Amino acid sequence: MDWLIAKYHPCFLTAGDYLLKVQNRVQSVSKDGDSPFTTALTDADLSVQNLFEITTLANHPELAFDSEEESMSLNKKYFPREAEYRILLDPIDGTKNFKDGGKTFGVVMTVVKDRQIYAVAMYLPAYRKFFYSVRCGGTYLAATRRLSEKGKIQTLALPRAGVVRTDHASKDLIERIDKVIQVKEITRDYDPQTWRWPKFGILTGEIDGFVKMDAPLEDWGAIAFMAENAGAMVSDKDGNLIPNYFDFPDRKIPSLVVSRDYIAHSLVLNALKSWE
């Protein structure tokens, strides 16, 4: 699977350079949703999506391809509906912060085979960091320009942040977790000037974990996969193994809890006991 990550590596870098260059000039695109975060969409999202679609069609037209904004895709019709490998793309994870001029955004690509995640790659343009993870093979932080220069990362080696991230969580859920560890809830605490707790912070040290209900594979699931391969704990809210994303509509599992280590995970799970 490393060969596929290597094939897309230049594409990530081009997308990242483009995003940084146009960030202060992006235009919003209309999108349905229930909050400013779910409706956040820019012409840059569609451009990055287009770049990855073209790269895939030019080099591996046999791959299936799904993207978060595929309803606006000009290329969806050219991809096979079913294939041995499927690419899932979140062209800009953190569009709202990107649009607001912040740094907590990235490009996330997932490779799926037989309804299982096999690899994930993520580029954080403002951080100049490229992460990738292959099933049962660890998670790596690679040099931006030279993929062969890489180092294995472990969440245990990161300093404790003392923060757990939630996303569109209920007031009751936030209050339960807040009793044992500080919570940063994006709909409550987001300020474009000060926000620094992205979901990928589990890999960069800004958060000790996150809790997400109705968690989609394309972003939350992908980062959970990378974190787990880096030594993090991953479960549902009851402490069970997470189910298969493909068994649920829109590939969203009911609950996802990710923590840097056993101690943080136990604190969060205990806080969630009997919560409905």
Structural domains in the chain, sorted by start: 2-152 (3.30.540.10), 156-272 (3.40.190.80)
Asked whether residue 4 carries a pLDDT value surpassing 90, the answer given is: no
178-223 confidence digits (pLDDT tens): 999 999 999 999 999 999 999 999 999 999 999 999 999 999 999 9
Mean pLDDT over 41-53 rounds to: 95
Is 186 within 8 Å of 168 (Cβ atoms)? yes
What pLDDT score does 1 carry? 60
Asked whether residue 75 carries a pLDDT value surpassing 80, the answer given is: yes
End-to-end CA distance of the chain: 39
| For the chain, percent of residues with pLDDT exceeding 90 | 81
215-258 confidence digits (pLDDT tens): 999 999 999 999 999 999 999 999 999 999 999 999 999 999 99
Burial class (CB in 10 A: 0-12, 13-18, 19+), 200: buried
What pLDDT score does 29 carry? 82
Is 168 within 8 Å of 35 (Cβ atoms)? yes
119-160 confidence digits (pLDDT tens): 999 999 999 999 999 998 899 998 776 776 678 888 878 889
How far, in Å, are 5, 113, 261 from residue 63 at the CA level?
A: 14, 10, 36
Q: pLDDT class for 276, splitting at 50, 70, 90?
A: low
Q: Which amino acid is at 63?
A: L
Angle at the Cα of 181 from the Cα atoms of 177 and 184, rounded to 5 degrees: 75
Query: Who wins on pLDDT, 27 or 230?
Result: 230
Q: Which helix (H) or strand (E) holds 113?
A: strand 106-113
94-110 confidence digits (pLDDT tens): 999 999 999 999 999 99
How far, in Å, are 8, 42, 50, 103, 244 from residue 24 at the CA level?
A: 26, 12, 20, 12, 39
- Average pLDDT for the chain: 93
Q: pLDDT class for 28, splitting at 50, 70, 90?
A: confident
The pTM score is 0.94
From 204, 205, 159, 169, select the one nearest 189 (Cα to Cα): 169
